[in-house]
Chains A and B, each alone.
Chain A
């Protein structure tokens, strides 16, 4: 740990970005007055008085943080969680971020940062997604990862997580931007993916260690997702959803925006469909076609894809599409399988469609599950696989 006298500009930035509850707008206001973090650190107490506003507590919380002991404590916490820091203007700070209107002053991260010369694509979508959305996200993540495109997303449940997990499984790189400190895995369910990303990509956050995932943080991080990516792909989004905000930001930042279409009338795909209809998003025909288009886009903007030689061999989890070794189905199973589709169907409905008894349908469904041809997604709600 460096003594105060040896602190460089970067150390002062690290200190400022570590102060909890201090958002970009506030740092911006402070920097306007103090010129730099060092001046703020060394300023006499009364100079801060001018920033006190009734109802705002951030100045009061900033005051005790202006001590070398506090800074040392913050660093210790980062070291404990292996969180690293990069300040704006420092080498390694992502170029894509530097180009937006409101870049963060610093980034905390675990693992690595996205590589500047390599093409990145964000896959975003609803947390509460349908199986169709999840399947698309998986296929997209898989294809992008295989093609050597860095997959950026938010580690959320549903689309985000599915795409990132598939990208990691395919042997590609993936980066998550969090709405909490980089030492916190939110949502908890994704702890496995979180550790996978630390190894095969990175987990990034604008917020210092220990910041809880407050609702207000997610719109802030959404701008980073669109900023880091060269293209944004929306998989399933309702009208008025966080994913649409990300897409709108991406359009503002001049990124390519793609949307996976849904059936008209599906509430969950409403946002995607209206993006395609009116807001300049391109339609995703298939993950393979999309990868081709992105490849061309990468060439146009002069970015490379990760070299296949550099890539890990994909992990054992083979993507299930295109697998040939399917077991033979019994006549009942054949009949029931024919009546399954990608939206959940109940046993009653299947029994009506196939005109065989409920008991036989139930047995056939279990058989199909054993043969990996159907999934039960809710109680007695099945989809084909």
Chain B
């Protein structure tokens, strides 16, 4: 008898519909599985057979054929166990025919019939309606993330027995309300490093605030021990709260990567700080079956690269295109996946090999050595850094002094600026000043006559390029937003210009 159960599989960050068909017919006893399966899917037959036995059902001594369609799509992962088991049980007559109509199922089975969590439940649940399903049965552990989707009845089951009971109308499955606000509060209460711990470093604080308020990329240059990493680690504490859509986006990626917290929802902006030994595919995403890399895991959050020049050149270069497009497309034999990757890049580096340039009393690096050290960071990458700031070594008075403003105070300003931007950019496809394309930047950062004159002076005097002109406009817009100012004023432009990235001529060059 033929039966069918709908299931979902993850490709990239999207869910695709897979229907699991089963048929039990006369013939040599056999359990055959077809449909372009990877080995973990093929192994499902043993898990399914044993799990079915564990709930007291016996498989008929007949020919059992399972097909996962579409047959040209490579099936990976362990989420097909439950739908296979249910389809086989229906074909064998242990479950009433058609009882799984309109229900999407996903989950891995244990030998004892227990249901185990799988990756990507959020996407699958989100896509359920488009697959023609009004309900989803997911493993209990995945219930929290699945429930974040509205419009679909998401049910959590602990074992195969619970599922069969439910399908026979003998029992109910768990439901859950996922309250994003509650989870947000709970996660916010977790302690994180605070900006109040940082003494001195006023320029660095200011730059961090601007970077976060407008989603600008930030490069921190400074001698060892100046507090570059310390500041970067505190950036998450001043990031603006993500919106509901952003939370779902962030959670979706982490769900695909199998990295969700127990609450099931990721309500905070991510902060990723990979070590500089990271490979190119770990950074961009990849693998035989593409998985999101660090840049996608940092989506809507911060990607912090400490010791920037130590990263392999190829790893750094591949950041360029995603930084421009906000997404990365990965092509592998098994298919092409596209992951979002819109992040704040925070880089930290020393000014030279020994770290003390331009302090000539301590640094003996020749200009050539300084230049060679910094050539590890290519100009195109430097061009994409909106802000560049120097961290200087704290003096004793700083260490003895009071800590600075707390993260909460800074965040309140950042939130205000973020709200202004969200209001202004509603409907134009970007959210923060740092993402503004040139056209929009000129529209929203309209300059008066005086400002235009100043900008002209800056452009000529500091020999800017078109790209750095755009950077200054965006940063000036953020500065105005932080002040709550309607228009970009001359002072904003001047300050923005002081954060531009140094060019080679005096940075490691001959020193003007």
Contacts and interface: CB of A to CB of B under 8 A. Distances in A.
Contacts of A363: 491-492, 494-495, 498
A349 B392 CA distance: 9
Given A268-B361, A366-B497, A378-B351, A127 B491 contact: no
Contact of B457 (A362, A370, A380): A370
B272 to A, nearest CB: 25
A379 B361 contact: no
Contacts of A358: 202-203, 205-206
Interface in A97-131: 127-131
B499 A362 contact: yes
Interface stretch (A44-52, A167-175, A340-348): A340-348
A131 B506 CA distance: 12
B365 interface: yes
Interface in B365-403: 365-368, 388-390, 392
Contacts of B221: 379
B376 to A, nearest CB: 16
Nearest to B394: A348
A362 B360 contact: no
Which of A131, A352, A379 lies at the interface centre, i.e. has the most chain B CB atoms within 10 A of its CB?
Answer: A379
A293 interface: no
B425 interface: no
Given A127-B366, A128-B366, A360-B491, A348 B392 contact: yes
Nearest to A347: B203
A367 interface: yes
Max chain A C-beta neighbours (<10 A), residue from B201, B221, B351, B360: B360
B357 interface: yes
A351 B351 CA distance: 22
A369 interface: yes
Nearest to A131: B511
B495 A380 contact: no
A384 interface: no
B366 A346 contact: no
Given A348-B392, A365-B498, A370-B461, A378 B203 contact: no
Contact of B361 (A131, A266, A364, A366): A266
B27 interface: no
B360 A348 contact: no
B462 A379 contact: no
Interface residues of A, number: 41
Contacts of A157: 366-368, 510
Interface in A231-277: 265-268
Contacts of A127: 366-367
A222 B494 CA distance: 46
A273 B171 CA distance: 94
A378 B4 CA distance: 68
A158 B492 CA distance: 35
A349 to B, nearest CB: 7
Contact of B494 (A346, A351, A366): A366
Contacts of B390: 346-347, 378-381
A128 B507 CA distance: 13
A344 B201 contact: no
A334 interface: no
B491 A378 contact: no
B430 interface: no
Contacts of B202: 347-348, 351-352, 357-358
Contacts of B511: 129, 131, 134, 158, 377
Contacts of A380: 203, 388-390, 498
A39 B140 CA distance: 100
A93 B363 CA distance: 42
A375 interface: yes
B502 interface: yes
A93 to B, nearest CB: 34
A362 B495 contact: yes
Contacts of B203: 346-348, 351, 358, 362, 380
Nearest to B397: A352
Contacts of A357: 202, 206
B59 interface: no
A197 to B, nearest CB: 16
Contacts of B461: 369-370
A366 B512 contact: no
A362 B495 CA distance: 5
A359 B492 CA distance: 9
A318 interface: no
Interface string B447-465: 0000000100110011000
Interface string A147-174: 0000000000110010000000000000
Name the 7 nearest CB pairs between A and B, nearest first: A363-B494, A380-B390, A362-B498, A363-B495, A366-B494, A347-B203, A358-B206
Given A161-B510, A375-B512, 8 more contacts: A128-B364, A352-B202, A359-B206, A359-B495, A360-B495, A362-B203, A363-B491, A377-B358
Interface of B: 200-206, 221, 351, 357-358, 360-361, 363-368, 388-390, 392, 454, 457-458, 461-462, 479, 491-492, 494-495, 497-499, 502, 506-507, 509-512
29 contacts: A128-B363, A158-B367, A158-B511, A161-B510, A267-B361, A268-B360, A344-B358, A347-B202, A352-B202, A358-B202, A358-B203, A359-B495, A360-B495, A362-B494, A362-B498, A362-B499, A363-B491, A363-B492, A363-B494, A363-B495, A363-B498, A370-B454, A376-B506, A378-B358, A379-B351, A379-B390, A379-B507, A380-B388, A380-B389
